[in-house]
Amino acid sequence: MALRMFVICWALLAFCTEMPDLAAAPASDTGKTLLIYVYSPDCGACRQFDSEIGPIYPKTMEAARLPLHKVLLEDWQKGATPFVECAADAVTGTPTFIQIRDCRELDRITGYSDADLFWLSLRRMINRLDPT
């Protein structure tokens, strides 16, 4: 419940902030760990993610560790983004969140049902970066 209240408060604070579209990230991101968000404008779960998480994600500590790069599914399927070659498996549905470092897929979240589950899954990804 506390996490849900945190998310709601952050969403209210960030209401006027839009999530940047960073689909054309520079290829010089070697050594960085990125979170690629493959989405479709027709995807209800993507719209829910954009509404619930999109405004606050850039302001979180998680975003500092896993910068979010938003890529349209159509662009992904055409190979119009440099990240396609880094994924271990095809992206067959949206939303899909792919954790990439040095053009190698480390982990992936497929789907979005609610904010709590997303933050929990994201924490798992970050914990794998720093297993302490």
Q: What is the residue-level pLDDT of the chain in tens, covering all 132 positions?
A: 544 444 444 443 433 334 434 344 444 445 789 999 999 999 999 999 999 999 999 999 999 999 999 999 999 999 999 899 999 999 989 999 999 999 999 999 999 999 999 999 999 999 988 765
Does this model's pTM top 0.85? My answer is no
Bridge partners of 131, per DSSP, are: none
Specify the 3-state DSSP secondary structure of 114: coil
Bridge partners of 33, per DSSP, are: 101
Which domains does the chain show, CATH number per domain?
31-129 (3.40.30.10)
Burial group, residue 56, by CB count within 10 angstroms (0-12, 13-18, 19+) = buried
